[in-house]
């Protein structure tokens, strides 16, 4: 049976192992040890992702969460505050996604105790999710046989199911003009700031439609107030749940760059555009959704199917043919020092995981 005390203890232990993105070795070793004790065949791929396999009956399922956290995430001191678990206010809590990891480990522990029948389980704990889904990108997919899965990394309670997420294109732009003394010979210069401003004023950003957004989130340039600026760098992103719209908006960006290149032939506009991941959309009657909603209903919970505005490891799994969804892990205000976990909902997440694995 899912044991609340043990679940909380596991969660507290996990968040006290520092694992900011890129520094997850201690955390990966810890969870590998736990999985081994639970009887899993544990494998670590070349990137460092942890894969734990349990034999079972029926169709294999992948259960996933990520091991890294954002900053400030070192020396986390979790404490229980009524029904919540919070940090001491100087760091994040690390519930994203260690609440997911803890729920998975508790479900596996409970299954082992009860000896209940379950499907073949492939636990995948990825690294560096927070810095561009890198663990999922570099995961050794030859080690995974499951064709469907559940990722424990969503906001709110476990009955919140993400059924679609946008694809994502990054666009980095460097404008190179020519520097000159601003007072003595400005006519010899080409202002990179002015050109960048012109480009940016022409780019459509913000909400483009109900499933498409674009943003310019970073800009830097110039060297001194009395110099015509030679160089400006700005970074943009485009997201859409419709791949054609994602492509179309990327083309709009490119056409603006082209127009400005023609207008300022002496300037250079260098563009690095990269599709980081594709969008995915589930139909309501997809077997993975049906199975998940059936388990939730069985628990007396109302499944709430929602599109997401952000990407998770799920986006990458889909490009590798693994039909995965993302469920909530009882984590709130993630990526802030106000982050907290709701204990009763964390318990539900663990119960859901156990029920899902044993529903053959």
Q: Which is nearer to Zn ion, 126 or 179 (CB)?
A: 126
Instruction: Give me the active site residues, please.
Output: 68, 129
C-alpha span between 110 and 130 (Å, rounded): 29
Nearest approach, Cβ of residue 303 and Zn ion (Å): 21
**DSSP letter for each residue of 191-235:** -HHHHHHHHHHHS--EEEETTEEEEEEEEEE-S-TTB---EEEEE
C-alpha span between 277 and 333 (Å, rounded): 25
Dihedral of CA atoms 258, 260, 263, 267 in degrees, nearest 10, equals -100
Residue 89 DSSP code: S
Cβ-in-10-Å burial (0-12, 13-18, 19+) of 59 comes to middle
Nearest approach, Cβ of residue 65 and Zn ion (Å): 8
Q: Which is nearer to Zn ion, 96 or 354 (CB)?
A: 96
C-alpha span between 121 and 57 (Å, rounded): 9
Q: Which is nearer to Zn ion, 124 or 175 (CB)?
A: 124
Phi first, then psi: give them for residue 263, nearest 5 degrees.
Answer: -70, -35
CB 19 within 8 A of CB 27: yes
Nearest approach, Cβ of residue 153 and Zn ion (Å): 4
Q: Which is nearer to Zn ion, 68 or 122 (CB)?
A: 68
Nearest approach, Cβ of residue 282 and Zn ion (Å): 19
Paired tokens of 338: 């106000």
Where does this chain bind Zn ion (CB under 5 A)?
Answer: 96-97, 153
Q: Which is nearer to Zn ion, 189 or 328 (CB)?
A: 328
Residue 152: how many other CB atoms lie within 10 Å:
27
Nearest approach, Cβ of residue 157 and Zn ion (Å): 16
C-alpha span between 245 and 213 (Å, rounded): 10
C-alpha span between 276 and 167 (Å, rounded): 8
Nearest approach, Cβ of residue 312 and Zn ion (Å): 7
Dihedral of CA atoms 67, 73, 79, 84 in degrees, nearest 10, equals -70
Q: Which is nearer to Zn ion, 39 or 310 (CB)?
A: 310
Alpha helices (H) in the chain, listed in sequence order: 4-15, 25-37, 95-114, 134-138, 192-202, 243-263, 287-298, 313-319, 343-358
C-alpha span between 293 and 11 (Å, rounded): 26
């Amino acid at each position: 049976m899912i044991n609340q005390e043990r679940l909380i203890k596991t969660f507290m232990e996990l968040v006290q192992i520092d694992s900011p993105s890129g520094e997850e070795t201690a955390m990966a070793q810890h969870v590998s040890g736990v999985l081994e004790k639970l009887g899993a065949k544990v494998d670590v791929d070349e990137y460092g992702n942890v894969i734990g396999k349990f034999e079972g009956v029926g169709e294999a399922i992948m259960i996933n969460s990520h091991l890294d956290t954002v900053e400030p995430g070192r020396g986390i001191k979790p404490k229980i505050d009524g029904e919540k678990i919070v940090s001491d206010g100087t760091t994040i809590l690390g519930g994203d996604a260690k609440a997911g990891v803890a729920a998975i480990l508790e479900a596996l522990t409970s299954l082992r105790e009860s000896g209940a029948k379950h499907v073949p389980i492939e636990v995948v704990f990825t690294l560096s999710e927070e810095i561009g889904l890198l663990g999922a990108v570099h995961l050794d997919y030859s080690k995974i046989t499951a064709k469907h899965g559940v990722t424990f990394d969503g906001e709110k309670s476990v009955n919140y199911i993400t059924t679609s997420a946008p694809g994502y294109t990054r666009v980095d732009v460097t404008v190179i003009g020519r520097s000159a003394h601003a007072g003595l010979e400005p006519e010899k210069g080409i202002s990179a700031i002015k050109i960048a401003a012109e480009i940016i004023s022409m780019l459509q950003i913000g909400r483009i439609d109900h499933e498409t957004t674009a943003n310019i989130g970073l800009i830097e340039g110039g060297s001194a107030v009395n110099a015509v600026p030679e160089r400006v760098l700005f970074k943009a992103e485009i997201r859409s749940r419709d791949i054609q719209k994602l492509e179309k908006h990327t083309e709009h960006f490119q056409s603006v760059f082209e127009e400005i290149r023609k207008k300022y032939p002496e300037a250079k506009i260098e563009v690095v555009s990269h599709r980081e991941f594709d969008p995915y959309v589930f139909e309501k009657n997809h077997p993975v959704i049906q199975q998940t909603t059936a388990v939730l209903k069985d628990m007396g919970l109302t499944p709430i199917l929602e599109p997401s505005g952000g990407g998770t490891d799920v986006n990458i799994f889909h490009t590798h043919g693994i039909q995965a969804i993302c469920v909530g892990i009882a984590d709130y205000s993630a990526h802030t020092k106000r982050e907290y976990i709701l204990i009763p909902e964390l318990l539900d997440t663990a119960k859901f995981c156990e029920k899902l694995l044993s529903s053959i």
